[in-house]
Structure 1
Amino acid sequence: MYIHALLLFIAVIPPAASVSISQDPVPKGCRYVLRDQSWPSLSDWAHLNTSVDWQLIATVPLASVSHDPTYDEAACARMQQSWAFSQTHIPDPASIVEPLAQNESCDPFTPRTSPCRLGNYAAYAINVSSPSRATAGLQFAREKNIRLVIKSTRHDLLGKSIGRGSLGLCVQNLHQVSFFTYNSSLYTGPPRKFSLGILAWGIYEAAALVGKRVLAGTCNTVSVAGGFSQAGGHSLLSSTYGLSADNVLEWEVVLPDSSLVVATPNQASDLYWALSGGGGSTYAVVMSMTVKTFPESSIGIGGAAITYTNQGISEDTYWASITAFRNHIPAWVAAGGVFLPLRPLTFPDKTPDEVNNLIAPFTTELDNLAISFVLNITSFPNYLAHFNQYYRSFPSVNGGRLIPRSLITSNRTQDLVDVYRQITASGDFMMIGVCFVVSGPPVAPNGLNPYWRDTIVHNTIQSSWNFTASWENKEVEMLAG
């Protein structure tokens, strides 16, 4: 919902007479924030609003319905039930899903009488649906010396894409998908161009309509042209086609000086290099990204799900099975497989018999350990059908550690599993590992962290966030993790 900015400004930010005003100038390199004397005036914001076609939005935190004077009991209860899900925060121009970065400034679990503050949220956001609006926002932030942030879906769970007292560029309404023939000295074929607001599920569905595969995330609400690809982007297809950043052909961006540039390996090549793996929301405002696509095959996508529990077996036996599983990862990823916990192994272009042959050495070890298990091998005609069956509702996870192939291939798997066992012993934390190998060379040299090239497992440590605990206890829990 987009509302005239000035109608909301008074409700969100106290009148100037009621707050202390700091004296200018700010230290060199710093930006003005809300209480600074040179913070943009109401007339400045009104002028910006006009220049962006009345698409400037004053931030009203989602959880304001849980606090006076706008308390709404029913709305607050609904907000509490949905607060932990990214889908709650994605449509909002400023909200984020990461509770640590929210800093309890305004959430539905703090007391009704506690103030609802902007905290780390942007003060205003522009609904960017064209390069001209991004240009206007960049120019305004530069001239007024205020911070600027970019919001797509806010799957950056470390909170790096927010900024206290900033102007936000909300790019989630940039919707464009197209297929065409691409010719360059580095690649000729059928690529796909899509803008920042297109999410993973939309990309998969559009690609399936033309018989193609495209690399995107397992969490279907991730913006693929955003931090996903700009930071690398591993996928269920990475063991076959590499990372998303490796398959980028060009970026269409607005630079900090407000100029519109198309960056390719041969044009603005330094910018192309940095955007392809160097980190999201860092070098420019991305409008769209063009990537390689890959044809579906007549074989389709094979899958293998193995399920068993630690019930009825000793703890040592259970962890021996984990060691056995890890020892088989190199063979699986070499065959194009990718594995996430509680989801099946994904094998592009493998028949059910081929999948069964790949899994058989591990199930034999489970038999030898007297562990009862259920094995389910599937085959789907295309990647979209496989994804929808197993991953359409898969949640997002935090970033973590990259485990090199050498750790497993040098017979040190047991050392790794011993660390897992120690971390999870208390029951407060759980391990999640995405197993894959980065396959194939990139379109051109890029800024990707070179350790991705040697990775076989991307490990994360997760724990539940207790919204009702005191902030001090939450900080202790985060430090312990």
Structure 2
Amino acid sequence: MLPPLLTLTILLLTTPVTSQACRCTPASPCWPTPQEWTTLNTTLSGNLIATTPLASICHTNSPFSTYSSTSCAALRSTWPLPSTHYTSPSSPMAPWFGTFTCNPFSPPTAPCTLGPLVQNTVNATTVADYITTIRFTQTHNLRLVIHNTGHDYLGKSTGAHALALWTHHLKSIGIIANYTSVGYTGPAIKLGAGVQVIEAMAAAHEEGYVLVAGNCQSVGVADGYSQGGGHGQLASMFGLAADQVLEWEVVTAAGEVVVASPESNPDMYWALSGGGGGVFGAVVSMTSKVHLEVKTVTANLTVSAAGVSPEVFWEVAERFVAGVLDVTDKGGAAIWMVTNQTFEVTPVTVPGGTRGELEGEGFGYTYNIAEFPSFWDTYVEMNPLSNVTEAQIGGRLIPRSTVESNLTAFMGALRAIADYGTAISGVSLNVSRNGVPDNAVNPAWRDSAIDIVLGTTFDYYNRTADLANQKLMTDVLLPMLEELTSDGGAYLNEADIHQPDWQQVFYGDNYARLSAIKQRYDPNEMFYARTGVGSERWTELEDGRLCRVDGV
């Protein structure tokens, strides 16, 4: 009789991939037996983790943890912090994709269930862990998701009854002083799949470089952020994060480790560079361009609506939105937010710029403005810490032509949206100053002046209100912007989960090619993510099962 480990290895290598109508659940005959889970854990050196909801300590009716009012109070106080979730193998930050019955704010007597959370997680620390996990999911027809930090507004990194591949502890960072390829020669950085923005930027800065990375310090760089496009304060100067990528190291659905670059597996490279995370393969590492550090000028601005008429307040916002086009044309970018109470800029940044360039824009309002010897210094000093976004979001890319030719109507739409109590976030940028590389980034990015993200409130105590706010986003708020931007799209990482015609809105004319590449590398569609390429062929039933649309 063969030992269990060898038996599992043979099974993983020889069992054909199933094409059943639905992925298996604990109630299915195909669900792994306790012995099979134990053997898998042994193969993974103990890195298989059964999900325990973080908030199970807040519930008296929980099979996971013992109730503790003190521990629950402490958890409530840290629930908005990203670190509470990205250190967890299974907790998503977007509250809609957590378990509504088992959170710190639901009644202690509410039953604590997994709901939409994954069933088990593999803490992947090696490529072998990737291969083992992918083959195990194929053998047992399990739902597979890829999870890093949980920064995920569309629920791609979680799923009921799923086995999650947790990439968070792949933290390798290496600076390559002279990366050489057919299309690029220069400095680069190689990042493990779990490296977060602040870690990558600190490492690059130590060597005198900067890289395009997100405004939120705790986002994972190589996962959904770069694979989905990835903007930030340096995007006008150098392009989107996806535009920087030189190569990907990825494990395919066949369990093969491949390097995808413009010279090797170019179609996989093209798709991963902007076509969305979690659907083409499991990324192990990413190598991207870095750029020389540069002195930077940055400013923050806050304008209150108190004591002025709405007309004056919105005129301030309009003047900024129009004036900042000149800043983005110089390589700068602006992160701003407006409600019907305040207009905040946090911050506007011009790498290589001067104080005079920002002061000369003629906004006529008091800035907190400073010049810094490096971008790193301004990022640390002027960029506020980003907490969990407890909102239901929707997004729209605003073409430059709309700002230049139809600004009054655009600002009128923002004002009408704000009157619903909606928060409006904008990133003003120009990601095409240095040309347009050949990758899968939504073409709508290339002539966009602003990435707009709308947020309606989320109420942990009122599911009915949350559903109403989701419907408001889809049916009322976003259409106000879509009416003005018929040729626009949306950033696929910051969008409405119920966006109609999402294939065109998120991917543009690239969708057909992306779908073909998906079929080539993942013909049995083991990699599924909500609104990801190919996801229209699947549906999530009320009981959490993931089933083929034509096989329910």
TM-score by length of 2: 0.77
Compared CA separation, residues 83 and 305, structure 1 to 2 (3 A): closer
Pair 1:232 & 2:229 matched: yes
Pair 1:349 & 2:352 matched: yes
CA–CA distance in 1 between the matches of 2:395 and 2:292?
31
| Correspondence 1:313-352 to 2 at 5 A | 313-341=308-336, 342=344, 343-352=346-355
Residue identity in the other structure for 1:38 = C
CA–CA distance in 2 between the matches of 1:389 and 1:396?
20
Bigger relative CO (Cα 8 Å, ≥ 6 apart): 2
| Correspondence 1:231-270 to 2 at 5 A | 231-270=228-267
Aligned-residue offset at 1:440: 4.3
Hey, what does 2:409 align to over in structure 1? 415
Q: Per the alignment, in what secondary structure is the counterpart of residue 228 of structure 1?
A: helix
Compared CA separation, residues 162 and 95, structure 1 to 2 (3 A): same
User: Structure 2 residue aligned with 1:81, among 77, 102, 116?
Assistant: 77
Aligned-residue offset at 1:452: 0.6
Q: In 2, are the aligned partners of 1:146 and 1:167 still within 8 Å (CA)? A: yes
User: Structure 1 residue aligned with 2:278, among 271, 277, 281?
Assistant: 281
CA–CA distance in 1 between the matches of 2:412 and 2:329?
25
CA–CA distance in 1 between the matches of 2:101 and 2:37?
24
Residue by residue over 1:358-408, the C-alpha shift from the partner in whole angstroms, topping out at 9 and shown as x without a partner, is: x2x222xxxxxxxxx322321111111100112251346556110010101
Residue by residue over 1:242-290, the C-alpha shift from the partner in whole angstroms, topping out at 9 and shown as x without a partner, is: 0000010000011111111110011000100000000011111111000
> Unaligned regions of 5+ residues in structure 1, if any?
1-25, 364-372
Pair 1:479 & 2:476 matched: no
CA–CA distance in 2 between the matches of 1:460 and 1:396?
15
Pair 1:214 & 2:211 matched: yes
Aligned-residue offset at 1:334: 0.5
CA–CA distance in 1 between the matches of 2:411 and 2:166?
42
What number of residue pairs does the alignment pair up? 440
Q: In 2, are the aligned partners of 1:247 and 1:443 still within 8 Å (CA)? A: no
Hey, what does 1:176 align to over in structure 2? 172
Pair 1:51 & 2:43 matched: yes
| Correspondence 1:61-72 to 2 at 5 A | 61-68=53-60, 69=62, 70-72=66-68
TM-score by length of 1: 0.88
CA–CA distance in 2 between the matches of 1:175 and 1:305?
32
Hey, what does 2:425 align to over in structure 1? 432
Residue identity in the other structure for 2:306 = Q
CA–CA distance in 1 between the matches of 2:212 and 2:457?
29
Residue by residue over 1:214-233, the C-alpha shift from the partner in whole angstroms, topping out at 9 and shown as x without a partner, is: 01100000001010000000
Hey, what does 1:22 align to over in structure 2? none
Compared CA separation, residues 445 and 29, structure 1 to 2 (3 A): farther
Q: In 1, are the aligned partners of 2:459 and 2:465 still within 8 Å (CA)? A: no
CA–CA distance in 1 between the matches of 2:110 and 2:300?
48
Hey, what does 2:307 align to over in structure 1? 312
Q: Per the alignment, in what secondary structure is the counterpart of residue 38 of structure 2?
A: helix
Q: Per the alignment, in what secondary structure is the counterpart of residue 339 of structure 1?
A: strand
| Correspondence 1:37-48 to 2 at 5 A | 37-48=29-40
Q: In 1, are the aligned partners of 2:210 and 2:375 still within 8 Å (CA)? A: yes
CA–CA distance in 2 between the matches of 1:138 and 1:380?
46
Q: In 1, are the aligned partners of 2:250 and 2:284 still within 8 Å (CA)? A: yes
Residue identity in the other structure for 1:436 = L
Cα RMSD after superposing both structures: 1.6
CA–CA distance in 2 between the matches of 1:296 and 1:387?
12
Q: Per the alignment, in what secondary structure is the counterpart of residue 165 of structure 2?
A: strand
Residue identity in the other structure for 1:423 = I
Residue by residue over 1:298-354, the C-alpha shift from the partner in whole angstroms, topping out at 9 and shown as x without a partner, is: xx0011233322222211111122222222122111011111123121000012223
State percent identity of aligned pairs.
34
User: Structure 2 residue aligned with 1:31, among 23, 43, 49?
Assistant: 23
Q: In 2, are the aligned partners of 1:330 and 1:409 still within 8 Å (CA)? A: no
Residue by residue over 1:25-49, the C-alpha shift from the partner in whole angstroms, topping out at 9 and shown as x without a partner, is: x983321111112210001101111
CA–CA distance in 2 between the matches of 1:451 and 1:111?
45
Residue by residue over 1:174-221, the C-alpha shift from the partner in whole angstroms, topping out at 9 and shown as x without a partner, is: 011111221111000111101111110111111111110101100000
Q: Per the alignment, in what secondary structure is the counterpart of residue 398 of structure 2?
A: strand
> Unaligned regions of 5+ residues in structure 2, if any?
1-17, 337-343, 474-552
Q: In 1, are the aligned partners of 2:99 and 2:113 still within 8 Å (CA)? A: no
Q: In 1, are the aligned partners of 2:100 and 2:460 still within 8 Å (CA)? A: no
Compared CA separation, residues 442 and 195, structure 1 to 2 (3 A): farther
CA–CA distance in 2 between the matches of 1:452 and 1:437?
9
Compared CA separation, residues 48 and 338, structure 1 to 2 (3 A): same
